[in-house]
Amino acid sequence: MYNSTLENAAYDIISVFAKTIEMFDLSPLEARLFVFLYLQEQPKTLDEMSEALGKSKTSISTSIRSLSDANFVTLVWRKGVRKDLYEAKYPLFKTFMNNYVNKWIDASHHQKDALEKIQKELECLDAEQPLEIMDSLDEIIEFHEQIASSFHRLQHNQNA
Amino acid sequence: MYNSTLENAAYDIISVFAKTIEMFDLSPLEARLFVFLYLQEQPKTLDEMSEALGKSKTSISTSIRSLSDANFVTLVWRKGVRKDLYEAKYPLFKTFMNNYVNKWIDASHHQKDALEKIQKELECLDAEQPLEIMDSLDEIIEFHEQIASSFHRLQHNQNA
DNA sequence: TTTTTTGTACAGTTTAAACTGTATAAAGTT
DNA sequence: AACTTTATACAGTTTAAACTGTACAAAAAA
């Protein structure tokens, strides 16, 4: 009875916290998986995660790979243990916020470049008549600069 | 030929810019729709948007409603015109960043409340043995506080 | 080398999201 | 009041995402 309440609490924490983690652009399973690992004392194997979350091993494998690629979890070696062991990266805030902010900055730079390329092509056209679209394009490019600089600032303030 | 190049440019701008707008949690159609309106001088009707984007009127109707609910577009009245006319909200950055930051702040507060409720319930249990999960829960709650305060700061710095 | 263990590729299934077309209610026009 | 016009509710279809199970390749154990 006591344990059951405790397990319920763990389950509730996973459910709530996973919702937050999803906001960092992780799929529901990736989010649950990360949170599960975060709450565990010891690194876990694919089979343990599969068992604990009630999902197929394949599903866990693909999800844990995404998490690993994004650097939210790390593979851990233990002598004598053949299976892959994964654990959640620490600390929470730095790990997620850095990743997230970088994604925004990279994306806004990339998009801005694409827009400036279009802008150059438009300038090469008949420059006589003033094109309203050029003004919009300026605004849109500035919008991307504002995004980049905002998230840049967020990254700096992060430790404050 | 000239017009065609210009139209291509407009199409490219819509495609690129819409990708950015999608990052603010808008669906692909919602994003294209907003960008289309943004590039137009005059407010547009459902039929015009449907025609321009090659989507059904129903689809436009539901998407424009979402945009309107989120305050990214506004209904405009013109005397003599019976159809609903929509235009994009200005300015870009303020409109989207405010909305986005508020979504994060609201969500992190809401999630934090849910976690603190779980925390209280856990405290009411047998408080004798130190539960590791309580420590994790503290960290997780702090994580939510850090999210809220970061985005709060982002909102303030926004005008700088 | 043969056998076992472990992670992942791949094909197929289930589930959910996006979209369409018809029907209808509400409002405008005659 | 009868007739149009316009937006949306709803049911059904298409498209994409999530997930599963079998099969297999790489590595370890025998």
Residue B125 has pLDDT above 70, yes or no: yes
CATH (one of 1.10.3720.10, 1.10.10.10, 1.10.3210.10, 3.30.9.10) for A2-90:
1.10.10.10
CB atoms within 10 A of CB B11: 10
Query: pTM higher than 0.85 for the full model?
Result: yes
Domain ranges of chain B: 2-90, 93-159
Q: What pLDDT is stored for residue B3 in this prediction?
A: 61
Within 7 Å: CB of A21 and strand D? no
Residue A31 CA and nucleotide D14 C1' are separated, in Å, by: 29
CB atoms within 10 A of CB B156: 10
Per the omega criterion (within 30 degrees of 0), is the bond before A91 cis?
Answer: yes
Q: How far apart are CA B21 and CA B77, in angstroms?
A: 26
Q: What pLDDT is stored for residue B160 in this prediction?
A: 46
Choose from A93, A121, A134, A151 for mutation: most chain B CBs within 10 A.
Answer: A93
For residue B156, name the pLDDT band (cuts at 50, 70, 90): confident
Residue B57 has pLDDT above 50, yes or no: yes
pLDDT (average), residues A141-158: 92
Q: Which of A118-127, B9-18, B88-97 has the lowest average pLDDT?
A: A118-127
Within 7 Å: CB of B56 and strand C? yes
Residues 2-61 of B with CB under 7 A from strand D: 45-47, 57-58, 61
Report phi then psi at B67, rounded to 5: -60, -40
pLDDT digits (tens, 9 = 90+) for A114-138: 999 999 988 887 666 667 889 999 9
**Is A107 close to B23, i.e. CB distance below 8 A?**
yes
Q: What pLDDT is stored for residue A158 in this prediction?
A: 62
Q: B136 contacts in A (CB within 8 Å)? A: 13, 38-39
**Nucleotide with smallest C1' distance to residue B32 CA:** C18
pLDDT digits (tens, 9 = 90+) for A40-94: 999 999 999 999 999 999 999 999 999 999 999 999 998 888 899 999 999 999 9
Q: How far apart are CA B154 and CA B75, in angstroms?
A: 29
**Residue of chain B minimizing CA distance to A109:** B20
For residue A5, name the pLDDT band (cuts at 50, 70, 90): confident
- Chain B nearest-CA distance from A82, in A, is 28
Residues 60-79 of B with CB under 7 A from strand D: 61, 64-65
